[in-house]
Structure 1
Amino acid sequence: MDSNSFFEKIQEQYKAELPFVVFSRSINNTIKCWLQKDDELRLTDTFSESGYVFSPFDLNQSSVVFPAEHSEQLIIKADFGVPSNLPEDKMALEDSETYMQLIEKAIHSMKTSEMTKVVLSRSEDIERPKTSIFRLYKRLLAKYKNAMVYCWYHPKVGLWMGATPELLFKVEGAQLTTISLAGTRKSDVETSIDWTPKELEEQQIVTDYISEQIASFTSSKSISKTETVKAGHLLHLKTRILARVQSNRAELKPIIEALHPTPAVCGFPRELAQEFILKNENYKREYYTGFLGEMNIKTRSERNRNRRNVENSAYASYGLNSYLYVNLRCMKIDDNHIKIYVGGGITEASEPLAEWEETVNKSQTLKSVIY
């Protein structure tokens, strides 16, 4: 199947108002889609199904799943192309006062409570252009070559699109891999940068939290050195954490409950930060800062690839692999409007104006793809 027939198939699915998701995995240079064969809305809170899951920020709300047995899957080699010379949006100030007041309230709360970090977000509504959603998706692919770029649709939920650089976790057999990602800088030049103490502190909070959360059900844990990575025109701090799950089959629900929401999208301590967010952000995040991806996908691996060893090669093992990503840099699209979601981590050392400007930087790439 070539790229044209691949996207034609997805367009037919969309015109028929049937659920689908198309997404990239830059790690293996492929684009894949799941096409659900009916329009039934299937929900899960066990995460035991084999399928594609789309989960909200608040796990008290159910997640949507496209089950493998009710879906067709297609995959092609990715052709990410070259991004167009798209205009960058100028900094909009109309919402800055409200957002900075929220930041000041959070800083005051941290001075009088045990909360040390909270991630505050905002949404911005813009007019939807006449450009097709698949053209927008291909633009995102070109702009975010190192991210997981997706377009997800269910007629009973809506259309979401985004480009996330953040893995929540992946499980391959008993091997668990997760990352901590924090800090944001605009990458004006391709040189090394000096991160501030505030940014390094924010990153360390995320790394320490994740390490502690998975300690009770994993072993053989290793933590990489923190590095600077690029996503679009932004730079982030990233640390990789690897561990082995202490069971033959890793159940996803305990891992999800341990890791989601991470300090990178919620704050620390998690309970206090989430309470502050739900009480003070004054809008519903819905699926923004939730997670999405394939879960419990059966994968076959050979014990011995020596073709002459017929007896041993007959012993193939099967594992369940899952790849879940945090839903960042995303937008919700309807017939006439696009809602963009952005946010940033707040600590006592935060400067409200600088934090506002960080959210503007994050929204610029999405806007430049839209227009």
Structure 2
Amino acid sequence: MKIFEKIITSYNKEMPFVVYRKPNKKSVSALFSTIDSLTFTNSFTESGFVFAPFDNTKKAILFSLENSEYINEKTSLDTLISDDKKNNLDEKSKKNHIKLVDKTIKEIKNNDLKKVVVSREELVALSDFNLINVFQKLLSNYKNAFVYIWFHPKIGLWLGATPETLLEVNNSTFKTMSLAGTQLFKNVNNVVWKNKELEEQQLVTDFIENQLRNISTNLTIDKTETVKAGSLLHLKTKVTGKLLENSNLKTLIRALHPTPAVCGLPREKAKKFIVDNENYKRTYYTGFLGEINFNPKSTDKNSSLFVNLRCMSIENKTASIFVGGGITKDSNSKKEWEETVAKSSIMKRVL
């Protein structure tokens, strides 16, 4: 594929690019930037691809359509099943994460926090990292995810396969989702969800409904369903609506990001707890990425944004894999640790 060749060329020349495939699609799209400067957006009125951090007070990086070569190609990759890498469990990491979860549960029980999403960074040494091979494995193994590779010489290299849509917007009509609750897929037809996961999911859905009520009309909340993402199962609720005339894409993004699925409730208190207590900086993990005001062949303004989950950054032959989980008063710290181990395996199996 021409796109794969251009990935190598741009990466070697240290020129910014993003290559991605939307969930359940047969084609891969790419923007190869013609400039190497760092460009940001705060208005979300431009046309291009954004890469935004978890911290919603900071600007999103923009690869503008105007300053990029756009390519779209069909893929013909068969499913590649990689052997699951054994998780070399770091006892120190386990101890630290369990301690953090226990502290979070105590904090929730002692004040008005309802949920906090806490996460950790797992470092994996890479002996023979091949950028194209890893990207191809992501594309082949995670057909129903938003799969991407993103690079900027001033920021770094990121890859991911996220199951969570933040927003899909066509002119003034939008779709979003609440995605919470996690369990391992065990090839069973009757999936049983415990109260903890159901409550966590409902908190996210209620937040989205409350945030959108005053900026939209025709708001519809679908029934909650179970969805598969790699080796994991999640609870998902689809939400649709239409923006009011005095609202826009920025209004929508500010209302939703960061959602309780990656932050917590109340949002600002949960965010402060995360920043104060996680022992690393999330940067772009649990941020969002995707197309804004984007349709090269039409005057329609389409935006497709995804939450940056199941992702990793690569630097100096080391992969930083980011994983977390939603904590409520009913959480069990050892089970929360096991959930992060299951989530980290999604990235590990392609390395």
Pick the TM interval, shorter chain.
over 0.9
Give the corresponding residue for 2:346: 365
Q: Deviations over 1:326-363 (max 9, x none)?
A: 00011010132110000000000000000000000000
Alignment CA distance shift 1:85-1:27 (3 Å): closer
Q: Deviations over 1:40-76 (max 9, x none)?
A: 1111222221110000000222211001100011011
Q: Does 1:253 find its partner at 2:250?
A: yes
1:232 to 230, 233, 237: 230
- Give the SS at the match of 1:17: coil
Q: Provide the C-alpha distance between the structure 2 equivalents of 1:13 and 1:266, rounded to a whole number of angstroms.
A: 34
Q: Provide the C-alpha distance between the structure 1 equivalents of 2:250 and 2:2, rounded to a whole number of angstroms.
A: 37
Q: Provide the C-alpha distance between the structure 2 equivalents of 1:241 and 1:142, rounded to a whole number of angstroms.
A: 28
Q: Does 1:290 find its partner at 2:287?
A: yes
- For normalisation by structure 1, the TM-score amounts to 0.91
Superposed, which structure 2 residues align to 1:51-70 within 5 Å? Answer: 51-70=48-67
1:151 to 149, 167, 187: 149
Give the corresponding residue for 2:83: 86
1:279 to 267, 273, 276: 276
How many residue pairs get aligned? The number is 350
Superposed, which structure 2 residues align to 1:114-263 within 5 Å? Answer: 114-247=112-245, 251-263=248-260
Give the corresponding residue for 1:17: 14
The answer on whether the counterparts of 1:167 and 1:325 sit within 8 Å (CA) in structure 2 is yes
- Give the SS at the match of 1:102: helix
- Tell me the CA shift for residue 170 of structure 1: 1.0
5+ residue gaps, structure 1: 302-317
% identical aligned pairs: 45
- Tell me the CA shift for residue 128 of structure 1: 1.7
Q: Provide the C-alpha distance between the structure 1 equivalents of 2:252 and 2:214, rounded to a whole number of angstroms.
A: 10
- Tell me the CA shift for residue 80 of structure 1: 3.8
- Tell me the CA shift for residue 271 of structure 1: 1.0
Amino acid at match of 1:38: I
The answer on whether the counterparts of 2:165 and 2:305 sit within 8 Å (CA) in structure 1 is yes
- Give the SS at the match of 1:348: coil
Amino acid at match of 1:106: T
Amino acid at match of 2:78: G
Superposed, which structure 2 residues align to 1:303-314 within 5 Å? Answer: none
5+ residue gaps, structure 2: none
Alignment CA distance shift 1:134-1:59 (3 Å): same
- For normalisation by structure 2, the TM-score amounts to 0.96
Give the corresponding residue for 2:301: 320
- Tell me the CA shift for residue 141 of structure 1: 1.2
Q: Provide the C-alpha distance between the structure 1 equivalents of 2:94 and 2:43, rounded to a whole number of angstroms.
A: 40
- Give the SS at the match of 1:180: strand
Q: Provide the C-alpha distance between the structure 2 equivalents of 1:6 and 1:67, rounded to a whole number of angstroms.
A: 18
Q: Provide the C-alpha distance between the structure 2 equivalents of 1:20 and 1:85, rounded to a whole number of angstroms.
A: 26
- Give the SS at the match of 1:69: coil
Q: Does 1:75 find its partner at 2:72?
A: yes
Q: Provide the C-alpha distance between the structure 2 equivalents of 1:282 and 1:236, rounded to a whole number of angstroms.
A: 27
Amino acid at match of 2:311: C
